[in-house]
Amino acid sequence: MVNVAVLGYGTVGSGIVEVIKTNQELINKRVGDELNIKYVLDLREFPGDIIENILVHDYDVILNDPEVNIVAEAMGGVEPAYTFAKKAIESGKNFCTSNKELVAKHGPELVELAKKNSVNFLFEASVGGGIPIIRPINESLTPDDVVEVVGILNGTTNYILTKMAKEGSDFDTVLRRAQELGYAEKNPEADVEGYDACRKIAILASLVTGKYVDFEDITTEGITKITDVDFKYAAVLGLSIKIFGKFKVKDGKYFAQVCPVMIDKSHPLYSVEDVKNGILVRGNMVGDVMFYGSGAGKLPTASAVVSDIIEEARHLNETINIIWSDEKLNLSDIKDSECRFFVRVKNTDKDAIEGNFGEVEFINLGEIDDEIGFITRSMSEETFAQIAEKMDNIITRIRVEG
């Protein structure tokens, strides 16, 4: 028998229990042994729930029980998750988590600690919810030099942008609806400002390079400045507005960024809508590989955690090799990266625009008298910033991919 302790009985934690109970027979076959949930840790009481008799409030009960083989964390936040992870690993227990904050901040340390203690620290559910992405990078794509990872990594922001595009609604209206539906938190800052996607692309960039990409070094821009007017221009152009987490290797330089982008129908992520996530990985041998599915939600995320539990149950006496050192990867300044820009300016004329930006593609929206929209030629972020600094009439700008 393989005994598991689940930390936290919220959305994901209760989902872990549900997945295991629902698919118990199938999971036992895939483990090659009986998988048993011995404890659930939570500060609350759950009278009448199926976990009532295995509920504990003191982590030491789990830590001091030698029969517990695997600890699955679904609490969120850096603390006490970090302390719990260290103690479990040091006591010889395998640990897995859906916690991207924990993984982004302490991933390399916990991976190394697990190796020293001949156990595993796995985190499939920390990026992409139910989408398998961590294990494919660690196992299936190992022959390749991964030169680019780009993804729609947050279901909340993708839902908001999708509804703004389809319904012509403004940001605040769609955000309120997302909160009512449970897609957005009461405080949605981590999602709408891009911080959630930033941590996720930092984890993916770390795994493809084997070094530590500090999420605090990644230039991050959210979607709060995107308006319904931007979508009117996008519709005329046949483009879609998304928010990407991006990591790219070019000419020996490493770039990482989270920002809104405009993409056309030829882009593999163009049709990823609503709360779905999509991740494109580009290897120098395999080419483009696409991962698509539910990037959040109770059962999809819980399914990914249980996949880690199964993997750890299969490797109780050996450490799965994950290459992630604490050596920091030095990211290049994003000012050196290049793209085209969609720009809206007010109270000006086309001659003034071309005098600053050179040749541009003007967009005829036909319904706004006091502004002009256009797309620039490809230029560096630094060049754009220098031009923009000379102008005081720019309403907005969005990067254009492809």
With respect to residue 328, please indicate whether it lies within any of the assigned structural domains: no
pLDDT given at position 229: 94
Q: Based on the domain organization, do 169 and 264 belong to the same domain?
A: yes
Number of CB atoms found within 10 A of residue 194's CB: 28
CA atoms within 13 A on the CB side of 166: 10
**In sequence order, what are the beta bridge partners of 26?**
none
Question: Residue 218 and residue 329: Cα distance in Å, rounded?
Answer: 11
With respect to residue 322, please indicate whether it lies within any of the assigned structural domains: no
Q: Based on the domain organization, do 158 and 276 belong to the same domain?
A: yes
Q: Based on the domain organization, do 190 and 272 belong to the same domain?
A: yes
* All residues at 6 or more sequence positions from 304 whose CB lies less than 8 Å from its CB, including other chains: 98, 124, 125, 128, 129, 130, 131, 132
Q: Based on the domain organization, do 97 and 13 belong to the same domain?
A: yes
Q: Based on the domain organization, do 36 and 178 belong to the same domain?
A: no
Q: Based on the domain organization, do 286 and 340 belong to the same domain?
A: no
* All residues at 6 or more sequence positions from 398 whose CB lies less than 8 Å from its CB, including other chains: 226, 230, 241, 260, 261, 262, 341, 342
Q: Tell me, what CATH number does 113's domain have?
A: 3.40.50.720
pLDDT tens per residue across span 157-166? 999 999 999 9
Structure tokens at 249: 């290797």
pLDDT tens per residue across span 12-47? 999 999 999 999 999 999 999 999 999 999 999 999
Q: Based on the domain organization, do 175 and 43 belong to the same domain?
A: no
Q: Tell me, what CATH number does 274's domain have?
A: 3.30.360.10
Q: Based on the domain organization, do 61 and 183 belong to the same domain?
A: no
Structure tokens at 137: 């990078």
User: SS3 for 196?
Assistant: helix
Q: Based on the domain organization, do 145 and 259 belong to the same domain?
A: yes
With respect to residue 345, please indicate whether it lies within any of the assigned structural domains: yes
Q: What's the DSSP call for residue 92?
A: T
With respect to residue 156, please indicate whether it lies within any of the assigned structural domains: yes
Domain count, the chain: 3
Residue burial 287-305, b: 16+ Cβ < 10 Å; e: rest: eebebbbbbbbbbbbbbbb
pLDDT given at position 317: 85
Question: Residue 234 and residue 260: Cα distance in Å, rounded?
Answer: 13
Q: Which residue in the list 200, 211, 242, 298 is annotated as catalytic?
A: 200
Q: Tell me, what CATH number does 391's domain have?
A: 3.30.70.120
pLDDT given at position 186: 87
Pick from 294, 322, 347: which residue ends a domain?
A: 294
With respect to residue 324, please indicate whether it lies within any of the assigned structural domains: no
CA atoms within 13 A on the CB side of 72: 36
pLDDT given at position 370: 87
- Give me the domain span that covers residue 169: 135-294
User: SS3 for 72?
Assistant: strand
Pick from 314, 345, 360: which residue ends a domain?
A: 314
How would you list the strands of the sheet with 68-73, edge to edge? 55-56, 35-41, 2-7, 68-73, 94-97, 121-122
With respect to residue 227, please indicate whether it lies within any of the assigned structural domains: yes
Q: Based on the domain organization, do 264 and 346 belong to the same domain?
A: no
Q: Based on the domain organization, do 274 and 187 belong to the same domain?
A: yes
Question: Residue 383 and residue 367: Cα distance in Å, rounded?
Answer: 30
With respect to residue 325, please indicate whether it lies within any of the assigned structural domains: no
With respect to residue 276, please indicate whether it lies within any of the assigned structural domains: yes
Can you give 126-188 as a three-state secondary structure string?
Answer: HCCCCCCCHHHHHHHCCCCCEEEEEEECCHHHHHHHHHHHHHCCCHHHHHHHHHHCCCCCCCC
The pTM for the full model equals 0.95
Q: Based on the domain organization, do 8 and 103 belong to the same domain?
A: yes
Structure tokens at 86: 């260290």
- Residue 200 appears among annotated catalytic residues: yes
Is-contact 280 290, C-beta < 8 A?
A: yes
The tens-digit pLDDT sequence of the chain (402 residues) is: 999 999 999 999 999 999 999 999 999 999 999 999 999 999 999 999 999 999 999 999 999 999 999 999 999 999 999 999 999 999 999 999 999 999 999 999 999 999 999 999 999 999 998 999 999 999 999 999 999 999 999 999 999 999 999 999 999 999 999 999 888 888 999 999 999 999 999 999 999 999 999 999 999 999 999 999 999 999 999 999 999 999 999 999 999 999 999 999 999 999 999 999 999 999 999 999 999 998 888 999 999 999 999 999 999 989 999 999 999 999 999 999 999 999 999 988 899 999 999 999 999 887 777 899 999 999 999 999 999 998 889 999 999 997
